[in-house]
Amino acid sequence: MNIKSYQPRKLSIPVTELEQASFCQLDDNLRSKTLEEEFKSGVKWQKVPNRYLKMSPEEIDFEINRMKSIIGSKLYILGHHYQREEVIKFADTTGDSFKLSLEASREKEAQFIVFCGVHFMAETADILTSKDQKVILPNMAAGCSMADMAPSEDVEDAWEFVSSVSDNYVPITYMNSTAAIKSLCGENGGLVCTSSNADKAFTKYLESDKKIFFFPDQHLGRNTALSLGINLDEIKVWNPFKLNGGLSEIEIKSAKVLVWQGHCSVHTRFNVDQIEMAKNDKNAKIIVHPECTNEVVSNSDYVGSTEYIIDVVSNSKSGSVWGIGTEINLVKRLASENPDKDIFCLDPIVCPCATMYRIHPAYLLWVLDGIGAGLVINQVEVDFETRINSKVALDRMLEL
Ligand code: 13P
Ligand code: SF4
């Protein structure tokens, strides 16, 4: 595209970002209510048949167990660590997004893979499984506000412009992005990464003097680049609401890393005041996810993916005190699995990820009932063309 004809797209704020605070509460009881009650939260839910609205948690539990035993080995349920307790207990495997994509790529037997997580994770599972396996997302409204901050067309335009200014850039996308962006990365020599392997992904290209254009999380991009010795002034932010990302050609040519201006609305709630309070009041060790701001990361003792957080905290000494900067369902689970430690969330307000939280157990039951009746409800299917290059980008990640 000619630079003179380039126009920024209309400003769009992801719906999920606006809805993020809908489940926030002061009470730390995260127990699921009936779907009918949860519908009052003010977020967009996918419509379900009425019979699921009033079912009690006990009835739902009983029915899910019954359907799981009827469907048997044809079914494989994957659960991300941020899922609520009443859902994750039904998962055959739990993990962070890297572990779950690995599990999906290794699962050969199951015909139905039900992904209790968010849309981009289900898309990834579809790309990594065979054509005969069907990947199902229980609630199609379970997106990711960060992924929504990088519409594929905007990323394609930005990539076209940046690569026309310097042919030394390689595109890397965080797993939290659409399949179309993963495909763009595969097609242009780049790859996908997660928070467990972003450092390896960056190193692969920086070592051969390449520059990186990273989508869509500016914080993971900045934290990773800084941890690898890149200076702050060599990292530039691409603002999708400004012409040419708000960057001059000189800035693009002199930067080593460009980061898309996206963020996670859950992890940007953490701040340095919370860390200081946890350190001063409780002498806590601080561990946070790399989607937090650099200020938070650099004031923490440990930083890493959800799987890493679980590993460090679970293997710490009895009696240790942990202030954690990640999603509340995982923090609560860690606290209940480690009663000999004092584990708490840095944020005093209880704010689950509003999109992960949309996987209510009634939705899980709904899709299982569908399978039992020979119906595939909510299949997530990536089209053939997008699949080819996004698989290239994912395979490059799996080879890291
Ligand atoms: P993990 O890669 O740690 O699973 O994180 C995924 C995610 O969405 C964090 O917000
Ligand atoms: Fe997306 Fe943040 Fe939720 Fe992860 S925690 S799924 S990045 S909104």
Residue 6 has pLDDT above 70, yes or no: no
* Nearest-atom index, ligand 2, CA of 355: 3
* Nearest-atom index, ligand 1, CA of 80: 4
Beta strands in 48-101 (DSSP E): 75-80, 93-95
Query: How do 235-238 and 321-325 pair as beta strands?
Result: unpaired
The CA 367 to ligand 2 mean position distance, Å, reads 23
Query: What tokens were used for 257?
Result: 């890393």
- CB of 264 within 6 A of ligand 1: the answer is yes
* Nearest-atom index, ligand 1, CA of 96: 4
* Nearest-atom index, ligand 1, CA of 195: 2
Ligand 1 pocket: which of 94, 266, 267, 289 to mutate (most atoms <8 Å of CB)? 289
User: 392 in the Ramachandran plot: left (φ > 0), alpha (ψ -120 to 50) or beta?
Assistant: alpha
Query: What per-residue confidence (pLDDT) applies to 328?
Result: 93
Mean pLDDT of the chain: 93
pLDDT tens profile 321-335: 999 999 999 999 999
- What is the SS3 assignment for 80? strand
Residue 274 has pLDDT above 60, yes or no: yes
Residue nearest to atom 8 of ligand 1 (CA): 176
Q: Which of 1-5, 163-167, 281-285, 393-397 has the lowest mean pLDDT?
A: 1-5
Mean pLDDT across 104-118: 94
- CB of 94 within 6 A of ligand 1: the answer is no
Give the ligand at the shortest distance from the Cα of 217. Answer: 2
Mean pLDDT across 364-375: 97
Rounded-to-integer distance, Cα 282 and Cα 268, Å: 22
pTM for the structure as a whole: 0.93
In the structure, what pLDDT confidence band is assigned to residue 103 with cuts at 50, 70 and 90? very high
- CB of 194 within 6 A of ligand 1: the answer is yes
pLDDT tens profile 33-80: 899 999 988 888 899 999 999 999 999 999 999 999 999 999 999 999
Query: What per-residue confidence (pLDDT) applies to 4?
Result: 60
Non-local (6+) Cβ contacts of 144 within 8 A are 16, 118, 119, 120, 176, 355
Residue 155 has pLDDT above 80, yes or no: yes
Rounded-to-integer distance, Cα 313 and Cα 334, Å: 8
